[in-house]
Amino acid sequence: MAQILRDERELRRVIGDGESLPDGEVEGLEERDLIDLYRGMVLLRTYDERSLVYHRQGRIGTYAIFWNHEAMQVGAVYALERDDWIFPSYRESAIGLLRGMPASTVLSWWRGHPAGWWNPVDYNVASICVPIGTHVPHATGLAWGQKLRGERACAIAFFGDGATSEGSFHEGANFAGVMKAPVILFCNNNGWAISTPLSAQTAAETLADKAAGYGMPGVRVDGLDVLAVYEATREAVERARAGEGPTFIEAVSYRAAPHATADDPTAYIDLERVEEEKRNECLGRYERYLQRLGVLTDDAVEEIRGEAQAAMREGIAAAEAEPEADPELLFTNAYVDPPPSLTDG
């Protein structure tokens, strides 16, 4: 069971620090699950680190780094079943990899190539949402639809702290509460919306407090603790399937990387705090936990990292082998009746 830390309002944690904070465990998770979670985190970490290199080499465009957000993404998705729907923002661009999507697809998306757009029903992963918060009503609507059809599947929407100030978030959350939609509103609170700090974003004491206004529970969890995230999401999924409606999860972290490759956070961020966060980053924290438990061998680490690196090598090669896109495609599905300026000449 997760422990609740008294000094950090209801911030759930399972992984200890190897010193004064003891390790917990999550009921029902076997050794195989613990390693699967680790494999997912290594895959996403490798995707992210390689993508930054590919960007620097001019092989992908602007890229939204998700370094140290892996615990939130992997922990939450692990609590879902394959039929449950995922609605990612740009921060979760590679989350489809956890559902078997090839790395080349997501790399193509960041290359602005049409091969980067998948059919959502192939993975039950919706398109990557760049407008802030507009996918919250989409996820809610889909979840409500599933409920009306008597289906078991639920939906999860990932969005940031900044998104909680957007109209679409409030509309989606209110609708979810009223309709008791089986949806999980997963807020990645990394403390920043580009250069806007949380303190300038909201007057609420915590983002989870907002849940009360929509008649749903609000849960706070350490966003760098993959097991606490998993456990909190699993409970939310159980509520959703039991007909009890939506849950708001606030996963707390502090953004340790630039917002995106086009950003220079040295102009505004607390650099000492960033260094501290890097020392405590989520993958290393989980790796040390598994080592304390004695379930992760050096050979397994090497093998899992090797698999992820190979997936990325294959991914970039496949993305770069795509034939150049036809610029006309930009307009193909934009108009029922294209204006003369696009059709003439």
Q: Which residues bind Mg ion (CB under 5 A)?
A: 160-161, 190, 192-193
Residue at shortest CB range from ligand TPP? 160
Binding mask 180-219 for ligand TPP (x = CB under 6 A): --------x-x-xxx-------------------------
In the list 132, 139, 181, 256, the residue contacting ligand TPP (rule: CB under 6 A) is 132
**Smaller CB separation from ligand TPP, 5 or 194:** 194
* Closer residue to ligand TPP in complex, CB, 161/281: 161
Residue 255 a catalytic site member: yes
Q: Which does 92 bind (CB under 5 to 8 A by kind): ligand TPP, Mg ion, none?
A: none
Query: Of 52 and 260, which has the nearer Cβ to Mg ion?
Result: 260
To which residue do tokens 């609507």 refer?
Answer: 141
Question: What does the alpha-carbon distance between residue 173 and residue 195 come to, in Å, rounded to a whole number?
Answer: 25
Total residues binding ligand TPP (CB under 6 A):
15
DSSP string, 123-167: HTBPPPB-STTTHHHHHHHHHHHHHHTT----EEEEEETGGGGSH
Does the annotation mark 259 as catalytic? yes
Residue 44 sits at the vertex; the CA angle it makes with 229 and 64, to the nearest 5 degrees, is 95
CB 69 within 8 A of CB 253: yes
Cite the DSSP H helix spans in the chain: 31-56, 70-78, 103-110, 120-123, 135-148, 167-179, 226-241, 271-279, 282-293, 298-321, 329-332, 340-343
Which of the choices ligand TPP, Mg ion, none does residue 295 contact, using the CB cut-off of 5 to 8 A by kind?
none
Q: Report in angstroms the alpha-carbon separations of 136 from 35, 166, 344.
A: 31, 10, 39
Q: Considering the complex, what minimum distance in angstroms separates the CB of residue 8 from ligand TPP?
A: 19
Active-site amino acid positions = 255, 259, 268
Could you list the residues that contact ligand TPP (CB under 6 A)? 91, 130-132, 159-163, 188, 190, 192-194, 259
